[in-house]
Amino acid sequence: MNLIRREPTFPLYARYETPFFREMEGLSERFNKLFSNWTRPFDVTESLKVADWAPAVDIQETEKEYLVKLEIPEVKKEDVKVTFQENELTVTGERRLEKEEKGKKFHRIERAYGTFVRTFAIPIDADETKIFAEFKDGMLIVKLPKLDKPRPKTVEVKVS
């Protein structure tokens, strides 16, 4: 049996006007967003561990520190654990599902619940002895100060 490849005869832009192709384009964008996290230079070695969901994270760098912010609304401070080992910052925790009570029922549940694990490779110039974490208004903020490096000396070289 020979396969014959057929090209559509309608204009290229017309294919995006059908619901099927719009949905496929949206699916493609979601996959690109998912896999783009693997190519960021800061957390290239972020490990993918089995978890129920993953909170959104922002990572910033200033001259003095690295700042990691995790969005974890409705998670109790006691349900979050932050560890730093071998230049890897790991945040684990759990967001618990509300139980249905008498006279109260859910019509829709779209938010993710359960355990989460996020691990990030931290550059070697982070000072692990001065890590500070703060939990406020559903945000976990982890500050990793940088080590003080001696400034390089400028040496004048004679050219002969």
Banded pLDDT at 23 (limits 50, 70, 90): confident
61's CB contacts (< 8 A; 6+ apart) are 42, 67
Give the span between the Cα atoms of 119 and 91, in whole angstroms.
6
pLDDT at residue 31 tops 80: no
The first and second tokens of residue 29, run together, are 């964008």
Who has greater pLDDT, 26 or 83?
Answer: 83
Give the whole-number percent of the chain exceeding pLDDT 70: 71
At residue 55, what are phi and psi to the nearest 5 degrees? -70, 155
Most confident of 1-10, 38-47, 102-111: 102-111
pLDDT at residue 11 tops 80: no
The chain-wide mean pLDDT, for the chain, equals 80
Give the span between the Cα atoms of 57 and 41, in whole angstroms.
15
Whole-prediction pTM value? Answer: 0.61
Banded pLDDT at 40 (limits 50, 70, 90): very low
Give the span between the Cα atoms of 73 and 56, in whole angstroms.
11
